[in-house]
Structure 1
Amino acid sequence: MQSNTLTSEASRKTLQKAEKSQLRRSYLANFRSYWDLYLLMIPGIIYFIVFKYVPMAGIVIAFQDFSIFAGFTGSEWVGLEHFRNMFSDPQFYSIFRNTLLISLYKIVWGFPGPIVLALLLNEIKHMFFKRTVQTLAYLPHFLSWVILGGILITLLSPTSGTINKLLVFMGLEPIFFLANPAWFRTVLVASDIWKDVGWGAIIYLAALASIDPQLYEAAVVDGANKWKQLWHITLPSLTSTIIILFLLRLGHVLDVGFEQIFILYNSLVYQVADVFETYVYRTGIAQAEFSYTTAIGLFKSVVSLIFVLVANKLVKKFGQDGLY
């Protein structure tokens, strides 16, 4: 009985070794076949290692009273003190609320924008007109927020702006959009859509191009109109792409765009516009509170990770493919 058990165990180990050896040979064969593709990956891998993974070592200063002169090893260890200060600061909850609201508005209004634009462009048959619209829609993405901010400030000026001149022409009172708390978030969301809707549509246009045209031909034969084709063919074919991009977007749920807000906001709208990025800039850079702002950054990362994990689990629960 014991000899049979030993023989079975030896056979199992031998089989495992054979499987590992075969797997190694498979990896080597794959590498030899696609060595050029692996070579192309090297710059991207180096980028992520140098600029994403190596800086993660700096998280340790969130648990220290960091001194730039003492460095990582010489700074005093204070544990969770900065996190306690963060959660006991009333301003923190106001900033957290502003960040979540602006991010939520951008997701609700901005995330469907590229999908709608891609669907509309996909229906255009005149190629010159289609390419012209695509170019005009993509163009703002390649302009910095410094340029776009200047354009917005000019357009929304309460005295000389085109928008307010139009309001006065219609018999309405001019609005100081960038100094009015009731309008500032609307300006943020609308300008963010304006800047990135064209660029975001590129992925969806690529996904639309991969749909088999025979599906539409069969639907036409069955009497399906454009709306039914959209509902039963186009949108189901885009589902996996939409889900993946939505999950990736949740990973930046507390990143609402420092450049945009920093250029457009002012002291009159701090109550609705002050977010984590601007607060970290004022506190961490201007006041040299490196440890405290690192604790805020770590908090943001943990919250974003939780959002992604929960959303990914819900997506897989409903039978869709998630990120992993």
Structure 2
Amino acid sequence: MSTSQWPRSGGATPSGSLPLWRRALRWALALPPAYAGLLVLLVLAAVMRPQLLSMMLLPLIARQAAPLGLAVIGQSLVMRGRSIDLSSGGVIVGVSYLLTSGYFQVSETVSMLLCVLLGLVVGVVNGTLIVKARASSMIVTLAVAMILMGVVIALSQFRAPGDAPEFLRELVRKRIAGVPLPVLVWLVVLIPVAWLLRRTVYGRSLDAIGANPQAAALSGLPHLRVIFFTHVASALFSVLCGFILVGFVGKGSVTLGQDLALNSLAAAILGGVNFGNGRGGMAGPAVAAFMLTFLFNFLTSLGLGEPGRLMLQGGIIAAAALAYSLNKR
């Protein structure tokens, strides 16, 4: 018998020869934490609060998750390029004030166009300072959010926010084939973005920039332009979040959506998107957005008040940061 015919020993077992249950376990463990978290929540809800899984409440929870789901799309894009966007809270407050205060005596359509213009200006300012001035994305976007909130609070002393436009409230309440319209908007945005990242030059360039910015620059990729447009897109997603939140709440507020930036950051990380790495794709952050919203509803049904909810949010963000640091090792 020749040497090549002797059975081999000491080598790694090929994954194809593993038992099916071990391959399934390995695949499950490789998923982002959001999937396991959602599964645990659904099991707990089935035992403790089965009404949350009814066909009446699940679409409502999904509708509540839509603004966070849209925000996490923008957050996931900038994080893939090793950046961050904390300006969404300021953009949403600005959108809320423009739509509800009547400060500018214009039609509702023009007010919405002004909101889009606000998003474009914020995105351009963020992108320019980060790309041209090489400023820290965290500091720049946080500063822009604080400036916007300060401006809105100052203006609200002269003219307070009022009721949301009636057509916006009607749109948010509308259902198509039993599915709330905000959920459909979320999917209509999510699916093309996922396709864009997988099939286009932009998606490949963003992944290359996230993997190694220096190598991407040396290879001739327009890395600065990609990061710039990513921040503009993120700001426009925040405007869309503002439209849905204002219609959902029914009136403007100077505190509307202030926790959305940190929650979107936590959802992105729990969904498998780290700085420079998009392992979770776009499905992972979407699952994480629904998981967080379902979790808050579940805890509310158990009687947890606002202090407990805030502590839990802090714990989730800390857990997301821990998950990110462990994934980097």
TM-score, normalization by structure 2:
0.28
Of structures 1 and 2, the one scoring higher in RCO (CA 8 A, sep 6+) is 2
More helix by share: 1
